[in-house]
């Protein structure tokens, strides 16, 4: 079975590489020190500090593995080749919520770097997916859990 490809912008790639470096060089050492301190308390059968430190270690190692897998299977978007004729990964898109007459701007990114609070939508999300391939002035119907929402594309930029 083929590995899943992760679409990333160059910015997203850099952030994942920085997070991985921090986890490996700083966080791992901090967790190891917590484990050493907890071991000094003695009896492991009733040592909640040891259990917490081991759980944190497992979470850190899982995140490291996840990032390494993502980076190994990353497909980085060539920002020079980004086209502004239609919406695609890497584009900034200004849209109008027709019902509420509210303008919003999002960057379309890969799933690994999506963050709606930072106005970064995955191309696999309902809104992001509906916008892909559309042009300025097109009206897009997006099915959301609360019903169908209509957006008009006002601008596409790099």
Q: Which two tokens stand for residue 129?
A: 């997916």
Q: pTM of the prediction?
A: 0.77
Digit-coded pLDDT (tens) for 17-34? 999 999 999 999 999 999
Between the alpha carbon of residue 103 and those of residues 40, 93, 100, 118, 137, the distances in Å are 57, 10, 9, 15, 13
Q: What is the mean pLDDT of each run of 10 residues along the chain (158 residues)?
A: 80 94 97 91 78 94 96 88 90 95 95 92 93 96 90 95
Q: Where are the alpha helices (DSSP H) in the chain?
A: 10-22, 28-39, 48-72, 126-131
Q: What is the pLDDT of residue 48?
A: 85
For residue 142, the model assigns a pLDDT of: 93
Which pLDDT tens digit goes with each residue over 131-154? 999 999 999 999 988 889 999 999
**What is the pLDDT at residue 5?**
86
């Amino acid at each position: 079975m083929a590995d899943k490809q992760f679409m990333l912008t160059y910015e997203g790639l850099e952030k994942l590489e920085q997070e991985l470096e921090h986890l490996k060089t700083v966080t791992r050492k901090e967790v190891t020190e917590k484990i050493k301190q907890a071991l000094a308390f003695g009896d492991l059968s009733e040592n909640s500090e040891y259990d917490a430190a081991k759980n944190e270690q497992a979470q850190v190692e899982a995140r490291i593995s996840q990032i390494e897998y993502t980076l190994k299977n990353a497909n980085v978007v060539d920002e020079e080749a980004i086209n502004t004729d239609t919406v695609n990964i890497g584009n900034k898109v200004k849209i109008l919520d027709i019902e509420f007459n509210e303008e919003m701007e999002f960057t379309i990114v890969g799933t690994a770097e999506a963050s709606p609070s930072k106005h970064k939508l995955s191309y696999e999300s309902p809104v992001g997916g509906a916008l892909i391939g559309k042009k300025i002035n097109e009206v897009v119907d997006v099915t959301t859990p609360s019903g169908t929402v209509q957006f008009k594309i006002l601008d596409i930029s790099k």
